[in-house]
Amino acid sequence: MSNNVLDLALIPGDGIGPEVTAEALKVLKATLGEDNVKATEYGLGAEHWLATGETLTDQTLEAIRGHQAILFGAVGAAPNDTRIPSGLLEREILLKLRFAFDHAVNFRPSVLYPGAQSPLANPGDIDFVVFREGTEGLYVGNGGSMRTGTPHEVANETSVNTAYGVERVVRAAFEYAQQRDRKHVTLLHKHNVLVHAGHLWNRIVNEVGEEFPDVTHDYLHVDAAMIFLTTDPSRFDVILTDNMFGDIVTDLAAAVTGGIGLAASGNLNINGTAPSMYEPVHGSAPDIAGTQQADPTAAILSAAILLEQEGYADAAQRVHKAVWEDLAARDTSARTTQQVGDAIAAQV
């Protein structure tokens, strides 16, 4: 595969998105060779919306669909920018891409890298991956309100969970766990309260688990997981959970491994019907946009996941090693976004 050109859709987005994706692209090119990476940029986000009133048209969506993979920065306006309805860009760009391209698995590794500053006194040796379901749950937009704006308003949000959607992320988690040393899957849910969705998740985990006799699995209530993630995060190997719990848990996981500046992710289409999308877990951080203060490492590690998933395993290893060495050598002197990217690109 690696002698084909990697054909990317690049969506830099807002805030620090363009700065960090520029470095991720630099590292991809340094790894595969300048001519082996083709990136087509799509200018989506706050500016585009302000200029055109468009978030992501069907036409642009179809153009993006034609690429092998998507490298995504971040979208989201500054919180004090009242011109842009809150959450609009996240929903109509980021979530639209995840749903339109059927990103069944939101793959989010949590590793305590050398030199990373965990807020925990004794973080231990953290190395787990969260398999967050990506196309269902409370994220389906299945809500509404009545008597809106009155003292009698009722506002509902429905979490929709299907055996089809749950089974594929469960299977992906078990397959992945089977490749790892500890071969252990932990389901996080809240089945004592969310009886119906919880039953479904439990059933599918038990059923699929039987097909993987060498993989052990257990269950934790999502609230109890908060305690273990702060007191004993090294106990986890593969965490499996739904879309909303996964959103919450992966930010905590990022925090305990030294911050959102290192947290990478892949939104994976696992049946080959559309491109997967790779993005740092962090947002657009409008407060530091354009200042070259953002750490591009999360975007670069997302590019490493891209390489791994798109069939460039050796190249992925080289990026990982370069990041690992760069992190180990970091001191307190501040580097610009570009300097971090240059240093990692020089190592791959």
Ligand X SMILES: CC(C)[C@H](C(=O)O)[C@@H](O)C(=O)O
Q: Is 26 a catalytic residue?
A: no
Residue selected from 183, 203, 235, 335 as contacting its own copies according to rule CB under 8 A: 203
Alpha-carbon gap, residue 68 to 146, rounded angstroms:
43
User: Is 94 near ligand X (CB under 6 A)?
Assistant: yes
Residue 122 or 192 with smaller CB distance to ligand X: 192
Encoded tokens for 337: 């976004």
Which tokens is 95 given? 């979530």
| 216-247 burial: b if 16+ Cβ within 10 Å, else e | ebebbebeebeeebeeebeebbbbbbbbbbbb
247 tagged catalytic: yes
Nearer to its own copies, 139 or 236 (CB): 139
Q: Is 190 a catalytic residue?
A: yes
Cβ neighbours of residue 308 closer than 8 Å, sequence gap 6 or more? 316
> What residue has token string 């919880």?
198
Which residues make beta-bridge pairs with 40? 9
Q: CB 317 → ligand X: shortest distance, Å?
A: 26
Question: Per-residue contact track with its own copies, 126 to 145, x per CB under 8 A?
Answer: ------------xx-x-xxx
The DSSP call for residue 287 is: G
Please tell me whether residue 91 adopts helix, strand or coil conformation. helix
User: 176 catalytic, yes or no?
Assistant: no
Partner whose binding site includes residue 93, from ligand X, its own copies, none (CB under 5 to 8 Å by kind): none
Q: How many CA atoms lie within 13 A of 100 on its CB side?
A: 19
- Report, as residue numbers or ranges, the catalytic residues: 139, 190, 223, 247, 251
The site for ligand X (CB under 6 A) is made up of 90, 94-95, 192-193, 223, 247, 281
The site for its own copies (CB under 8 A) is made up of 86-87, 90-91, 95, 118-122, 138-139, 141, 143-145, 147-164, 167, 190-200, 203, 222-224, 226-227, 230-231, 244, 247-248, 250-252, 254-256, 259-260
